[in-house]
Structure 1
């Protein structure tokens, strides 16, 4: 514990280390609860997309996918579509870990089960279970176009992991940082910086996720535009609907992460709030 003296000569005693540690743990719980709520909300999305995909004529859908792939000229950039299913053998460095943990570390498990699809920029490969979620192929081709034909889209893609890492870093800073009491001024550059992050973590975290959402929307726009050209109007509507459900995942994530960071910070502050010393 330490004593804080404000610029108006009031004094406060900080919480003990044990109480502060408990407050941080409680903040972690608030963060996890918010993320779990978002995950629960988005949980029904894969089933919805799978039902939409399975309602499509597979032959017509696959023909449209092939035509779109050619029209996008992705072959000229050595992009490939790799159809996968639960029996497909793919090198997975996490395969000896529990399934739930594998899902957190790699998208390949969900993709093989038809609950996801993804474009791998380094390999230039689109992984998709065409049988269960073929409708997502157009969105993933949009990602491939962003990466290979758009400088702006490629930059946004390259920002994805740094942005996610920064979001986690700033959330951690806000959780560990004690909120200033009224009349207490920050000292030095580091204290001023961490105080700013603490006070604005929601806005900062939301801003960090904007490039990720922007790139996803670009991919959807490109995919929908091409799908409209190569598919029947009825099937195109299904592609649009599937992509709208897909948008739920990344939009709710972009909203949930700032809320989770703010919730964690506020819970920590409420529990480990400094107490004013009254003579």
Structure 2
């Protein structure tokens, strides 16, 4: 189907529904392949996490002292040690729940993670910019998800047509998705920094502090990798969709 762009008086041909469907399938496949790289970012952390179970006794008492030194229990913080079949109960994860002011972990396996969660608690309870970053995490992840949907929208305008705000969003959805994940990476970094500081102040031996930094560095790699893969996958989906849906320009013969 032919159309005329009034701005350039050029002739374009619209893409067929079959081309658009093929573009959608390829864009979806590219996204799935991009996310398959995530284990390469998270596995180093997971492997060290299980290795640290045998060293839990080296961190547990210092962690409990850090909780006391932080003064957060006077502000409502609770530490709940869990066991059972969940990732937290098995010592594979730990978390801080801002709405409840609760740190959940298996204190007999994963005390090394507790300092980081204390950092999250400080970010939340003491407020300021760190709490602002924490509050941006949910909206940022939601925005990244929206950009993933935007990436799959058809491009019905010719490439050299006049652009509007919607076109800007479509053209930059990969960058926006990546940027939307950065508050999460920043808040995780700050939590680790504060956790290491608490461990030092509570008297954790220097070799263990160095190991703690290494461990949290691997954890940060998983968050940074997730942000990177999110941005790249949205970018790829956007470009592939554009390739199969953008109207094609027909060069006029010269006389």
Partner of 1:197: 169
Partner of 1:216: 188
Paired residue for 1:101? none
User: 1:111-151: per-residue Cα shift (whole Å, max 9, x none)?
Assistant: 23322211111111111123443211100110001000122
CA contact (8 A) 1:6 1:182 kept: no
Q: Runs of 5+ in structure 1 lacking a partner? A: 88-108, 187-191
1:274 and 2:247 aligned: yes
In 2, are the aligned partners of 1:10 and 1:276 still within 8 Å (CA)?
yes
TM-score (norm 1): 0.82
Q: Secondary structure at the match of 1:210?
A: helix
CA deviation profile, 1:139-167 (whole Å, cap 9, x unmatched):
01100010001222112111111110011
**Unmatched 5+ residue regions in structure 2?**
none
Match of 1:183 in 2: 160
Structure 1 residue 50, shift from structure 2 partner: 2.2
C-alpha deviations, 1:192-223, integer Å up to 9, x for none? 12210122223222221221111111101100
Change in CA separation of 1:180 and 1:114 when aligned onto 2, cut-off 3 Å: farther
1:4 to partner: Cα distance: 5.4
Q: Distance in 1 between matches of 2:81 and 2:156?
A: 51
Q: Which one of the candidate residues 127, 131, 156 is aligned to 1:154?
A: 131
Counting matched residue pairs gives: 251
Indicate which of 87, 104, 107 corresponds to 1:110. 87
Partner of 1:86: 84
> 1:12, 1:275 within 8 Å by CA — same for their partners in 2?
yes
User: What secondary structure sits across from 1:86 in the alignment?
Assistant: coil
Name which of 70, 76, 82 aligns with 2:68.
70
Indicate conservation of the 8 Å contact 1:210/1:254, yes or no. Answer: yes
The TM-score, its normalising length taken from structure 2, stands at 0.89
**For residues 71 and 179 of structure 1, do their structure 2 counterparts lie closer, same or farther at Cα, with a shift above 3 Å needed?**
farther
Asked if 1 retains the 8 angstrom alpha-carbon contact of 2:154 and 2:245, the reply is no
Change over 3 Å in CA distance of 1:184–1:110 after alignment to 2: same
Tell me the CA shift for residue 175 of structure 1: 2.2
CA contact (8 A) 1:179 1:195 kept: no
Contact 1:27-1:267 within 8 A present in 2 as well? yes
Residue 48, structure 1, aligned to residue 48, structure 2:
yes
Tell me by how many angstroms 1:28 deviates. Answer: 1.6
Tell me what 1:7 maps to.
7
Aligned Cα RMSD in Å? 2.1
Native 8 Å contact 2:60 2:108 kept in 1:
no
CA deviation profile, 1:226-253 (whole Å, cap 9, x unmatched) = 1112211122222111111111111111
